[in-house]
Amino acid sequence: MKKNITVLFRIIIALLFVVSAIAKMYPSPYFAISTFEVKQLYPLGFSETIAPWFSRILIGIELALGFLILQNNFLKKIIIPATIGLLAVFVIHLSYVTFATGGNSGNCGCFGELLPMTPIEAIFKNLIAMIILGLLLFMLPKNPQEVHKFWPLGLVTFLSIACIFVLAPIKSAAAITVPETTAVDSTSVKKDSVELPKDSIVTQKSVTDTLKKQPINEEKKEETEPAKKKSGYAQFFASIDNGRKTLCFFVPGCDHCQQAAKELNELRKTNKNFPSVHVIFMNEEPEKIPDFFKFAGTEFPYKIVEIIPFWKLLGTGKDTPGVKYLWNGNEYKYYFGITENQFNPKDYQTLINKPFKELRIKN
């Protein structure tokens, strides 16, 4: 009976660690690990240079412990104590996060995006695992004649870490990709540029004379629209700081992002003065972009950005889909995620119809 219980405990711990390591690579290794770095490691102070190495080594060790708990070499002397120690570090970290944030919200990242858990839930999970390991350490028989070999431990650990690096090789976080042919939305083009009739000829003199006859009322302009400001997105869209714009942060395979794009298209159909829509896509499954626009019912101008730079653009603590309302580069509203701050079509419709004097600048 005692032997069967110890075998059961070892299987439970092995599954916990192996599943946790695999879950941190869901739905794709590089995307999941990069997200783990940005959301979990960067807030802890890890640099962009150290985080990619630390994340892969940590997941590799986690995977290795899951396998090593099933073998007998140095099980009581090294493997079980090391596993308890790793869990203790996780508990301390999660306790600090819960205390620092003053709540129990968000995903702790223990099982990545596959099985979201709050910090409190993760703490209880880790404490239970530590209790099981403590019982296992007490119940395992002592065998002084047992031969201990280091090489199986080293080999399994090395192969586990190497496997993570192969599945998710480190890439340059600064890389930005721009599609060769950027989708152009006809409605936004009409708003961003002024086209002259083909049969009209306007000379430089006539334009100058017209401007002289119709001086711009600067005071009135300041009352009806905000002063121009650099939003920081001009590197993606040259005209983003001119007039009213809708800037979106989407992932091609994200169902919620597709729904937000569709809702924006429906709003645009009912409002001829709708702020032109521009999209920044994460470079995750970019081959799904045509299907994304097919679902949305239209195509918007877009750029593709690598995963880590995308998360930085989205902002700390933010999640997709992200939708911003910009006016002359000033940010007035930022919808993000799928909870209380998620995109609300009715709210956005009301917002964009408000005159300048009724708006309050967010930044």
pLDDT at 335: 96
Mean pLDDT of 146-172: 89
Compute how many other C-beta atoms are within 10 angstroms of the C-beta atom of residue 63: 25
pLDDT in tens, 60-109: 999 999 999 999 889 988 999 999 999 999 898 888 777 766 656 666 77
Which tens digit of pLDDT belongs to each residue from 178-227?
A: 443 344 333 333 333 333 333 333 333 443 444 445 555 545 445 688 88
Position 320 scores a pLDDT of 93
pLDDT in tens, 113-158: 778 788 888 889 999 999 999 999 889 887 655 567 889 999 999 9
Task: Break the chain into its structural domains and give their ranges.
Answer: 2-167, 176-199+226-358
Distance between CA atoms of 10 and 135, rounded to whole angstroms?
11
Q: What pLDDT, on a 0 to 100 scale, did the predictor assign at position 291?
A: 95
CA separation, residue 274 to residues 192, 206, 236, 277, 322 (Å): 12, 32, 20, 9, 18
For 335-345, what is each residue's pLDDT tens digit? 999 888 999 99
CATH class of 176-199+226-358: alpha beta
What CA–CA distances, in Å, run from 317 to 80, 105, 106, 234? Answer: 35, 11, 9, 23
pLDDT at site 148 = 79
Rounded Cα–Cα distance for residues 107 and 126 (Å): 15
